[in-house]
Amino acid sequence: MAERRELSPEELRLSVRPEELGVQSSEDLLAEEAALIMAQERAVSALALGLRLEDPDVHVYVAGEAEQGVAYLTRVLTEEEAQRRPRPSDWCYVYNFEDPDRPLPLELPAGRGREFKKDMEHLVRTLRERLPEAFEDERYVQKKEALLKEFNKRRAQIFEALEQKVKAEGFVLNVEPMGMMIIPAKPDGSPMTPQDVQNLPEEEKERLKAKSRELQQEMNTTVRQIQKLEKDLHEALKNLDREVASQVIEAHLQELRHKYAAYTPVVEYLEAVARDILEHLDEFRKGQESPQQTPFPMPVPPREPIFLRYEVNLFVDHSETQGAPVVFEPNPTYPRLFGSIERKAQFGALLTDFTMLRAGSLHRANDGFLIVRALDLLRNFYCWETLKRIIKSRKIFLEDLGEQLGLFTTKTLRPKPIPFRAKVILIGDLFLYHLLYTYDEGFRELFKIKAPLEEWVDRTEERTREFLRTVALMVKRKGLLPVSADGLAWLVEFSCELAGRQDKLSLKLPEIFDTLREANFWAREEGSLYITAKHLEKAKEERRRRLSLLEDRIQELIQKDLLRIRTTGEEVGSINGLSVYDLGDYRFGRPTRITVNISLGKEGVINIEREAELSGKIHTKGVMILSGFLRERFVQDKPLTLSATLCFEQSYGMVEGDSASSAELFALLSALSGVPLKQGIAVTGSISQKGEIQPVGGVNEKIEGFFRVCAARGLTGEQGVIIPQANVGDLMLRREVVEAVEKGLFHIWPIRRVEEGIEILTGRPAGEPGPDGRYPEGTVFYLVDQRLRELAERARRFAKEKEGS
């Protein structure tokens, strides 16, 4: 049996010496140019392509985790691209005089929208002052009086002619407020009374009636002539008013026409305004009147002021924007994304008008960039489908969500849409990207550029320097204390811890900066001028202390022997496997007792966790691999007549993953051979059917979890952990573990094959098969082979006895 190599303390953790960095503090790095985005060339290149492609059907998905700073990277690069672009247009909504329910959008250059709004306010205010004055002008009054005089003259002439005719026929024309009447006259010219008429002879009465009918026809003709005169007068006065008003309106509108001559829709709107004002001159002639007190005891809804229709709703204002807009929408609800139609309650009714239209993020991001978290977008009902529809149609429709869903039956506005010309950038993780790409055809059609973020980068001298420059720049920007040389060295090591590899640097910069912020607090508390390694270590430990409640409770249960874990002695068919608990913000490892029992049977290896429906698919696969290993090594010349029950003791939750498959195999080999395993040695590693030990995740947490149990009970110098050789480069163990290894109190053994592990656990050689396929006596595999042969023979005898009976 060859002596098995242990890992030296230097292999257990990357150690960076401060003097290797060549700086005294982070301040020395500020003179060097630092990139805002570190080592994300792939993502930066893809995002830059997506931003610069002038294709309305090409949008971008930036794939990365929040702790990688995906939002920061996206905003920095997008804002950089936006600064190279011109300012976008302003958008205004105005009254639609032809279809009041469909307000009109007007596009103006940046800053001109606010100017146009002020110009319209000034125009209406001026006309409300000038038009009443124009109607009090002497020339207007003279023209109006002349028209009235001419009307009165002609009316008088018509009445006079009628009176003469009536008088000549022996009648009197009686004019009263209720109308005109023709009455027979007496010889003295006074009107007859009804009694006088009654006393006349019948022949005379018949003559008067006939003559009265003739005169009535004449009177009706006269009334029509007067009505026509009144109509002509009204039309003449109206034309006079329009003529005078047109002169005033033209005088003030001409300047606006010239000012906005380049914008045809605006000029057309101004013409419509002029026509509408002429149709509502009476409102302007009233001047600035105060509302009269209503005589009714109950409140009466006020009439909608006519002047509201001439207001301008400055829908999107880019007067202060520099370059193209970059809008990050943190809460993508329907109204925040697509705008809303507000309402006001008045006397039990909900009222709205075009001045209550409110822009959403899509409107503000037009001609620029909209950044949205994909998961937040999907969580908000109807937003994702609406966004895809807008991108495809290239129009932003301002609609009520309630109306689309049939919740509102009241009349509402339907503003004409604004063209959509923005680039949409979704940010989310890779899993969500693949989910959308697989199941959403619209996503595949529209989001053609994927910008994936790297989780880590190779730890070269150049990359390390770049990492330190980025740290120095962020420390300066956040107003933190400078970081000392030993603090910078600590950060390099911490970055490797986060990456899970000694030869990698993590790109989870937000997590590193969170640690720096806390360390800055402890440094200031101490009155230090620098953030040192001591402060960073304290920040790390304080964070671990805040988050390690569950780990501490499990460790307490182990120490009280409520969770049974042996760390000394030997036992057949029992071993300490290692598992990792991932709580999202904290990961830790713990040992788990794995046991195996052997009996005669044909079931093979029975996974108790699977039978209890507590085994995940990957764990079940790992257990099935054990049978494959046994069949190749030991049952080429005999049947496998074995029932082996495999159990994770005191495990009451789902077991997933194959990292315990090597430990399960060692326990199975121990149970078959009868050779006890050292309980002070824990094992992690996946196994193949060929007996190869494969790498696993969470190796640092697993080692540290078992070390903590052993340290609490007292290190004996016989304890340690077996890990896959392929995981050696992942080791970034805590300093107390390294120190224990250095003192010979704890051990880490890397192995490549099953044979190496079983020899460490038993102290016996595993055994190599000879030319006849048999293992040497005294070896572990010899004992396993003999036990399997014995079980096969017993099964054969049992079957024969059963046949004989």
Q: Cα–Cα distance between 51 and 422 in angstroms, integer?
A: 10
Residue 458 dihedral angles phi and psi, to the nearest 5° = -60, 135
**26: which 2 tokens?**
């982070």
* 118 catalytic per annotation: no
The token pair at 783 is 């004992």
CA gap 423, 53 in Å, rounded: 9
CA–CA distance, 320 with 306 (Å, rounded to integer): 32
Q: What's the half-sphere exposure (Cβ side, CA atoms, 13 Å) at 706?
A: 32
**CB-based burial, 41-71: b 16+ in 10 Å, e otherwise:** eebbebbbebbeeeeeebbbbbbbeebbbbb
- Give first-to-last CA distance, the chain, whole Å: 49
Q: Do strands 369-373 and 643-648 pair parallel, antiparallel, or not at all (unpaired)?
A: unpaired
Question: How much of the chain is helix, strand and coil, in % rounded to 5?
Answer: 50, 15, 35
The values of phi and psi at residue 321, to 5°, are -75, 140
659 a catalytic residue: yes
- Sequence-ordered list of residues with C-beta below 8 angstroms from that of 110, at least 6 positions apart, any chain: 87, 88, 89, 90, 318, 319, 321
Burial class (CB within 10 angstroms; exposed 0-12, middle 13-18, buried 19+) of 572? middle
Q: Which residues face 329 on adjacent strands?
A: 372
Alpha helices in 2-93 (DSSP H): 41-52, 70-82
The three-class DSSP label of residue 234 is helix
**DSSP collapsed to 3 states, 414-455:** CCCCEECCCEEEEEECHHHHHHHHHHCHHHHHHCCEEEECCC
**Residue from 666, 618, 671, 676 nearest 642 by CA:** 671
By the 8 A CB rule, do 630 and 667 touch?
no
* Rounded Cα–Cα distance for residues 121 and 126 (Å): 8
In terms of DSSP H, where are the helices of 714-753?
735-742
CA distance 515 to 523: 12
Instruction: Give Cβ neighbours of residue 190 (< 8 Å, ≥ 6 apart).
Output: 172
- State the DSSP code for 304: P
Which candidate in 615, 659, 661, 686 is catalytic?
659
Residue among 364, 358, 366, 361 nearest 341 (CA)? 358
Q: Is 373 helix (H, G, I), strand (E, B) or coil?
A: strand
Of 632, 647, 628, residue with least CA distance to 785: 632
User: CA-CA distance, 10 to 680, in Å (whole number)?
Assistant: 23
- Rounded to 5°, the CA angle 130-134-138 comes to 145
Angstrom distance (rounded) from CA 597 to CA 646: 7
What are the CA-CA distances from residue 625 to residues 631, 664, 701, 718 (Å)?
Answer: 10, 11, 25, 30
Q: If DSSP states are collapsed to H, E and C, what string results for 550-589?
A: HHHHHHHHHHCCCCCCCCCCEECCEEEEEEEEECCCCEEE
Catalytic residue selected from 508, 538, 678, 702: 702
- Strands (E) in 243-373, as ranges, are 313-316, 326-329, 340-341, 344-346, 349-351, 357-358, 369-373
Query: What positions carry a catalytic annotation?
Result: 659, 702
